[in-house]
Amino acid sequence: MRLVQVLIPQGRRESVLESLDQQGVDYAVFEEVGRGDFEAMVQFPVPPSGVETVMEKLTTAGIRDDSYTIVLPTETVVSQRLSALKERFPGLRISREELYARAEDLAPANSTFFSFLVLSTVIAATGLLLDSAATIIGAMVVAPLMGPAVSASVGTILADRQMATRGVVLQVTGLAAAIATAAVLGVVLQQTILIPPGINIQEIPQVAERTSPNVLSLFLALGSGIAGAISIMRGSGSTLVGVAIAVALVPPAATSGLGIAFGLPAVALAGAVLVVVNLLAINLSALILFYLSGFKPLDADERESVRSSVAARIAVIGVGIAVLSLVLASVTYASFQTTSFEQQTQTELQRQFDEADIEGVELVSVTVDYRPIDYLLGNQPRVDVLVGIPRDLQAPPDLAQRFDDQLTEGLGRDVVVRVGFVEAQVSDDASTRASTGGLAPANSRLDRPSALLDRPSVLIDRSSVLLDRPLVLRTPEGQP
């Protein structure tokens, strides 16, 4: 429920009160003893969704734009007389005036906006380098990006060009500043001992997640924009929704900046694409939802121009999203292909070992190095196979080439195969088993192959010969 207070201009008291009577609104009138431009103040309770309708009627009755209208939220209203108003004005949508005021409040002063944005970018970039999801989420609480995204859409819907322009400018310059901040931070950190020399940020999971954007990233941005619009219209959860909007924008921007700092143009470009597509999606979803909710300018003459402006903006943003979505769709398809290839490779090799059923020989692991960027660039996948064999069994010198041929034939794709062997000879004597760390006998299957990998060196006989390099790699050409 809202409590509305309106100052009535001189000579308009009768028409204003008559308008309220016609709408069935209970009111109280107080004599105005302040400025001479007003003769009374009227206040009345009304549901949130009814404020806009009642105020439009009062404007027709003589409430000028330069008058004072105050809309206050109420804690509790106890009255049996409000049931008719609640039935007349159902729903939770706030009025146009409240929407405008909230949009103004959410877009802070430039100094405040950029201060919080730089701080959130520094925290987010640190979280990316530390591979800390908690730190990245903490940075999103600080980021002030919800305000400009909402104010740009509200300004467009309510024909306030200044608000719309400021919202767009803050978003664009803010994200550019975020990328620059992360780039400067990355350059500075490389000159310190805070990060290891030669670090490859592409191998950090939190960074890699934002350098392979797919279509699901678009759903995050669309959902964040819709949630932001709903939270403003319903007046709830705006802080948490602001975190969701920031998650879609600040980490990709920080990733792009780190890509620039570390000289990785692919990382910088992927992060920038994700930033742009998320920014467009957030603005598109918020703009459409505000328009469909029925918000219109107060001046009826501007409503037609606003309709044309909204349609034009939706078309431009939609085209931009469609173009960038081709990139996301390509990455999504490439990710699907690489994951499918990895699963098929592991299944095929396991099947071959199961069919061979050689005593004492075990497939320890299969690792496929095949990323979406490799698929898009046409690079061959690399398959690393680790096989456990007894020492008395001779390893076939052409095993890598055999796997290569079988995988190429079975999966229809050229591959590069490397085969590594873990060799051990273990007697049945208990003391020998203890000295060798409990490895299984040579004539049994390797039930725990990970034990071989966890030990870089293994004692294999009583002469204490040390296998310093238990892993022998063989390429398709048979070279170690």
Highest mean pLDDT among 154-168, 213-227, 464-478: 154-168
Query: When comparing pLDDT for 396 and 205, which is higher?
Result: 205
Residue 210 has pLDDT above 90, yes or no: no
Closest among 332, 365, 475 to 415, alpha carbons compared: 475
Say what the pLDDT of residue 363 is: 80
Query: Could you state, in order of their start, the residue ranges of all structural domains in the chain?
Result: 2-91, 100-335, 358-474
- Segment 158-163 shows an average pLDDT of 87
**Summary mean pLDDT of the chain:** 78
The reported pLDDT for the residue numbered 35 is: 66
How far apart, in whole angstroms, are the C-alpha atoms of residue 285 and residue 306?
A: 17
Taking every pair of C-alpha atoms in the chain, what is the biggest distance, in angstroms? 113
**pLDDT above 80: residue 417:** yes
d(C-alpha 218, C-alpha 209), whole Å: 14
Q: Which CATH architecture has domain 2-91?
A: 2-Layer Sandwich (3.30)
Phi, psi at 46, each rounded to 5°: -160, 145
pLDDT, tens digit (0-9, with 9 covering 90-100), for 228-279: 788 777 766 555 667 777 777 888 999 999 999 999 888 888 888 888 888 8
Give the list of residues 6+ apart from residue 404 with CB closer than 8 angstroms, or none: 415, 416, 417, 476
Element (H, E) at 123: helix 110-130
**323-377: pLDDT as tens digits:** 888 888 888 888 888 888 888 888 888 888 787 776 777 788 888 888 877 787 7
Gyration radius (Cα) of the chain, Å: 34
Residue 458 clears pLDDT 70, i.e. is over it: no
What confidence score (pLDDT) does residue 428 get?
A: 59
Q: Which residues contact 333 (CB under 8 A, 6 or more apart)?
A: none
The b-or-e profile of 26-55 (16+ CB within 10 A means b, else e) is: ebebeebeeeeebebbbebbbbbbbbbebb
φ, ψ of residue 199 to 5 degrees: the values are: -65, 140
358 versus 294: the higher-pLDDT residue is 294
- The token pair at 146 is 């919800």
431 burial (CB, 10 Å; 0-12 / 13-18 / 19+) is exposed
- pLDDT, one tens digit per residue, over 422-439 is 865 545 554 444 443 444
